[in-house]
């Protein structure tokens, strides 16, 4: 039975992975493993695996300084990947070519290839190779004495390496980065970075990387004139580089060791090391080592007053530097076209990532908003629907003569109203948070409103043994244009909080006239208590949503944590701000000022004995039988006959049979919802195509369905606000 064709693929990939891991401490083993992988790949005639094997071999030969082999294998790999259309494979090969080019001083070709690599790696989000490429680019910038771009590229390399949590790669960048900090005179920073690199290399066992880290520390020791320590670091770095076959690293360490001996006054030792370094650079074509060594020899001979030798090495230096900084490279330095191209690629890639992230965030936000909207719609309907029956029935029974029954009904009304206020807080906060709340000002008797608010909370206060006080400045007018619901919500939250956090004493509500101009009065609303007070450390967060001070909140106080957040937003909706004063153990004071326009005539609450609605006929679409019974009873008290439809389809059927004076349409119903039923009535010939239709709904989000808004005469909430329902029906009649 023949082997599965994927077996050789696994074998080759395993060999290449082991080879890549071994490069940090046994480069010869890496080369042997990669050669085995290449042999198997060629035997199987697998073009992709041949290309991958060639790339790895090219990388290892480039590291070792076998530059001709590295270039040959990289170019052969590119041909393989071009056949396959493998951009990533081509980029890997170009990375090896770039390494050879800049290590043999062809910086221009190094830049070109690295920029091509970077563009490809960014398209694939290959952060490991993005980091390696940025590090190589930074090395070139350093050779060109461009510290600004070098520093930026090193930092970009670290950012990319952190994304893939490659600590070895981060340490590799730390090594040259410490050199830049050293040149900038940031000794502490340079030392910290290089010590971090050494610690990482100890931890990971990266022998080759350790040589570069020791070289970096040697430079700092040399700068700080710790000569024995510097010598030890450089000699150890040279030893490791020679073991690993690292050519460029060996040459650079020779050069720095000779600089150390110059600093120590050991000129002859320095010249011996420089001679060895020059032979080394000649053998491996590392021109940058050659011209640096000649420049140092020029300085040594000049210091020894050996003018002829000094001039000889100066000429070598100038000639070799010219070879390094050739015409193509000067073009790069002068106009920075390739660097700008790289910046453009980086910015474009960054913008693409930001755009993708913004689209993703927008989609998540839309999905979250829809889920939130659906939840609020369901919650408001499910909670407010049964609450409608409780509130409306207690209102209908409020005229009972029996004192004991009336007291029980008052307690029931208080409990149900308190629950309704809590639900309204949660639902209204959503509208406030989305900026969809608006003021609905109308003439209102402020004195009557304040008495109603006091009456709402007097039961809660007296139950705790507190004394509630209401003071209204005699100069305040009787009626103003205002949104009584929102003002009641502001004061209700402040009063309930004052009662909640006060165990003895009093709660005082004051209205003070602060200024008067033409028809506008400035009124200060102030709520004061003798409660526990608010700790100063809580001041910064007390108006945030779902926030309660843990140090003073107990289970008995409860609450949603939305009260003050809603107060703040509603006061701001009025164009004002809420302020407070508090002292722990003595109490709190909350106050705000509103500019209100005086109303010429206070709006009177509708009288239920009026005859205007007698003999009217309504269609009530309501799937909840208890709510239907309650609504029909309420309508009958006003002389209205109501026919009941149990769902949207039933409502359409009844709308075809006769003309109604108005239709009260629930929204959430089986068979067909109120939106679709209303749209059908409005868009099809029937006796009620122009009949006023009110949405009578427990769904607080119903008014947000813009496509249906024009079909309804108005939206009325459940629990039914009796006066508002009466007024709405009266207006359309």
| Residue-wise DSSP of 593-630 | EEEEEEPSSPPPPPPTT-STTTTEEEEEE-S-HHHHHH
Residue 266 lies in domain: 246-329
Q: Which long-range contacts (CB under 8 A, 24 or more apart) does 247-250 make?
A: 247/64, 247/65, 247/103, 247/280, 247/284, 247/286, 248/65, 248/103, 248/284, 248/286, 248/289, 249/211, 249/212, 249/215, 250/280
Q: What are phi and psi of 232, to 5 degrees?
A: -60, -45
Do 394 and 318 belong to one domain? Answer: no
pLDDT of residue 417: 63
- C-alpha–C-alpha distance, residues 104 and 329, integer Å: 13
Q: Is residue 201 part of a domain?
A: no
pLDDT of residue 540: 73
pLDDT of residue 408: 62
* Average confidence (pLDDT) over 243-268: 88
> Contact at 8 Å (CB) between 702 and 372?
no
Last residue of a domain, one of 124, 139, 156: 124
In terms of Cα–Cα distance, which of 65, 60, 62, 67 is closest to 30? Answer: 60
pLDDT tier at 560 (50, 70, 90 boundaries)?
very low
pLDDT at 692 over 80: yes
Q: Is residue 233 part of a domain?
A: no
Least confident of 100-114, 379-393, 485-499: 379-393
Measured on CA atoms in the order 297, 299, 300, 305, is the torsion positive or negative?
positive
Do 413 and 501 belong to one domain? Answer: no
Least confident of 286-290, 435-439, 629-633: 435-439
Do 408 and 453 belong to one domain? Answer: no
Do 501 and 574 belong to one domain? Answer: yes
Taking only the tens place, the pLDDT of each residue in 56-65 is 998 888 888 7
pLDDT tier at 374 (50, 70, 90 boundaries)?
low
Taking only the tens place, the pLDDT of each residue in 340-363 is 555 555 556 666 666 677 677 777
Taking only the tens place, the pLDDT of each residue in 317-340 is 777 666 555 544 554 544 444 455
Taking only the tens place, the pLDDT of each residue in 154-203 is 999 999 999 999 998 999 999 999 999 998 899 999 999 999 999 999 99
Last residue of a domain, one of 543, 563, 598: 598
Most confident of 408-417, 426-435, 601-610: 408-417
pLDDT at 546 over 50: no
pLDDT of residue 655: 93
Do 578 and 645 belong to one domain? Answer: no
Do 422 and 445 belong to one domain? Answer: no
Q: Is residue 573 part of a domain?
A: yes
pLDDT tier at 475 (50, 70, 90 boundaries)?
very high
Rounded percentage of the chain residues whose pLDDT exceeds 70: 78
Do 551 and 459 belong to one domain? Answer: yes
Rounded percentage of the chain residues whose pLDDT exceeds 90: 35
Q: Which helix (H) or strand (E) holds 506?
A: strand 506-517
pLDDT at 557 over 50: no
- C-alpha–C-alpha distance, residues 519 and 596, integer Å: 8
Do 451 and 585 belong to one domain? Answer: yes
* Average confidence (pLDDT) over 119-138: 91
pLDDT of residue 488: 86
pLDDT of residue 591: 95
Do 542 and 650 belong to one domain? Answer: no
pLDDT tier at 132 (50, 70, 90 boundaries)?
very high
Mean pLDDT (the chain) is 81
- 629: tokens are 């019974």
Do 579 and 449 belong to one domain? Answer: yes
Last residue of a domain, one of 124, 141, 176: 124
pLDDT of residue 335: 41
- C-alpha–C-alpha distance, residues 280 and 328, integer Å: 26
- CATH number of the domain residue 313 falls in: 1.25.40
pLDDT at 382 over 90: no
Q: Is residue 724 part of a domain?
A: yes
pLDDT tier at 606 (50, 70, 90 boundaries)?
very low
Q: Is residue 267 part of a domain?
A: yes
Distances (CA, A) of 143 to 107, 108, 176, 247, 264: 9, 12, 12, 17, 26
Do 277 and 424 belong to one domain? Answer: no
Q: Is residue 240 part of a domain?
A: no
Identify the residue with better confidence: 386 or 75.
Answer: 75
* Average confidence (pLDDT) over 516-542: 88
> Contact at 8 Å (CB) between 527 and 507?
yes
Least confident of 19-33, 489-503, 556-570: 556-570
In terms of Cα–Cα distance, which of 103, 149, 143 is closest to 342? Answer: 149
Count of CB atoms within 10 A of residue 476's CB?
18
Q: Is residue 191 part of a domain?
A: no
Least confident of 12-26, 73-87, 435-449, 588-602: 435-449
pLDDT of residue 348: 62
pLDDT at 96 over 80: yes
pLDDT of residue 110: 83
Peptide bond into 407 cis (omega under 30): no
Least confident of 62-76, 244-258, 543-557, 600-614: 543-557
Do 421 and 462 belong to one domain? Answer: no
Number of domains in the chain: 5
> pTM value?
0.46
pLDDT tier at 241 (50, 70, 90 boundaries)?
confident
pLDDT of residue 654: 92
Identify the residue with better confidence: 230 or 108.
Answer: 230
Q: Is residue 456 part of a domain?
A: yes
> Contact at 8 Å (CB) between 297 and 254?
no
């Amino acid at each position: 039975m023949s082997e599965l064709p994927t077996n050789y693929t696994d074998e080759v990939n395993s060999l290449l992975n082991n080879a890549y891991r071994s490069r940090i401490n046994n480069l010869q083993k890496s080369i042997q493993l990669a050669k085995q992988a290449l042999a198997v790949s060629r035997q199987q005639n697998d073009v992709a695996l041949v290309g991958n094997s060639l790339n790895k071999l090219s990388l290892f030969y480039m590291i070792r300084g076998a530059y001709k082999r590295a270039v040959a294998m990289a170019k052969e790999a590119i041909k393989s990947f071009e056949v396959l259309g493998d951009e990533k494979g081509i980029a890997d090969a170009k990375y090896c070519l770039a390494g050879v080019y800049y290590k043999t001083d062809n910086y221009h070709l190094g830049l070109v290839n690295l920029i091509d690599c970077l563009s490809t790696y960014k398209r694939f989000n290959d952060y490991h190779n993005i980091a390696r490429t940025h590090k190589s680019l930074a090395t070139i910038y350093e050779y060109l004495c461009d510290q600004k771009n070098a520093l930026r590229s090193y930092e970009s390399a670290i950012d990319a390496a952190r994304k893939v949590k490659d600590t070895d790669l981060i340490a590799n960048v730390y090594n040259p980065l410490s050199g830049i900090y050293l040149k900038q005179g940031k000794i502490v920073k340079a030392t910290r970075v290089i010590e971090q690199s050494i610690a990482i290399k100890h931890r990971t066992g990266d022998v080759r990387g350790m040589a570069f880290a020791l070289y970096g520390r040697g430079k700092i020791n040399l700068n700080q004139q710790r000569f024995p320590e510097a010598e030890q670091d450089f000699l150890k770095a040279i030893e490791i580089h020679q073991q690993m076959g690292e050519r460029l690293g060996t040459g650079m360490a020779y050069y720095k060791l000779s600089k150390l001996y110059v600093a120590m006054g050991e000129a002859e030792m320095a010249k011996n090391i420089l001679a060895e370094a020059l032979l080394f650079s000649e053998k491996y074509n590392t021109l940058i080592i050659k011209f640096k060594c000649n420049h140092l020899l020029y300085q040594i001979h000049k210091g020894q007053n050996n003018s002829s030798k000094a001039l000889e090495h100066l000429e070598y230096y100038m000639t070799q530097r010219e070879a390094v900084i050739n015409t193509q490279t000067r073009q790069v330095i002068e106009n920075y076209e390739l660097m700008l191209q790289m910046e453009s690629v980086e910015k474009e890639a960054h913008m693409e990532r930001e755009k993708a992230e913004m689209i993703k965030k927008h989609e998540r936000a839309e999905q979250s908003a829809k889920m939130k909207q659906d939840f609020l719609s369901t919650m408001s309907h499910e909670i407010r629907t049964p609450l409608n029956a409780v509130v409306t029935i207690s209102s209908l029974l409020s005229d009972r003569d029996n004192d004991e029954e009336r007291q029980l009904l008052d307690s029931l009304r208080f409990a149900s109203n308190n629950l309704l206020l809590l639900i309204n807080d949660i639902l209204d906060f959503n509208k406030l948070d989305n900026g969809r709340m608006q003021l609905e000002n109308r003439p209102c008797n402020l004195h009557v409103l304040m008495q109603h608010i006091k009456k709402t909370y007097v039961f809660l206060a007296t139950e705790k043994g507190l004394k509630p006080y209401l003071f209204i400045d005699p100069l305040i007018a009787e009626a103003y244009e205002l949104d009584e619901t929102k003002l009641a919500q502001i004061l209700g939250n402040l009063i309930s909080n004052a009662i909640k956090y006060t165990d003895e004493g009093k709660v005082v509500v004051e209205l003070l006239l602060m200024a008067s101009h033409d028809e506008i009065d400035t009124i200060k609303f102030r709520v004061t208590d003798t409660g526990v007070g608010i700790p100063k450390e809580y001041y910064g967060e007390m108006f945030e949503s779902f926030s309660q001070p843990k140090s003073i909140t107990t289970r008995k106080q409860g609450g949603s944590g939305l009260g003050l957040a809603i107060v703040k937003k509603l006061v701001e909706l009025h164009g004002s701000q809420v302020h407070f004063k508090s002292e722990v153990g003595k109490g709190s004071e909350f106050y705000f000022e509103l500019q209100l326009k005086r109303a010429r005539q206070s709006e009177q609450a509708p009288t239920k004995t009026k005859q205007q609605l007698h003999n009217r006929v309504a269609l009530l679409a309501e799937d909840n039988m208890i709510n239907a019974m309650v609504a029909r009873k309420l309508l009958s008290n006003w002389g209205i006959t109501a026919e009941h439809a149990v769902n949207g389809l039933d409502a359409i059927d009844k709308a075809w049979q006769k003309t109604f004076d108005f239709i009260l349409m629930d929204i959430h119903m089986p068979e067909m919802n109120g939106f679709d039923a209303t749209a059908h009535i409005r868009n099809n010939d029937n006796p009620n195509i122009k009949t006023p239709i009110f949405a009578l709904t427990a769904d607080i989000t119903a008014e947000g369905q813009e496509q249906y808004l024009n079909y309804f005469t108005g939206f009325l909430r459940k629990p039914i606000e009796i006066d508002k329902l009466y007024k709405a029906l009266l207006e359309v009649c």
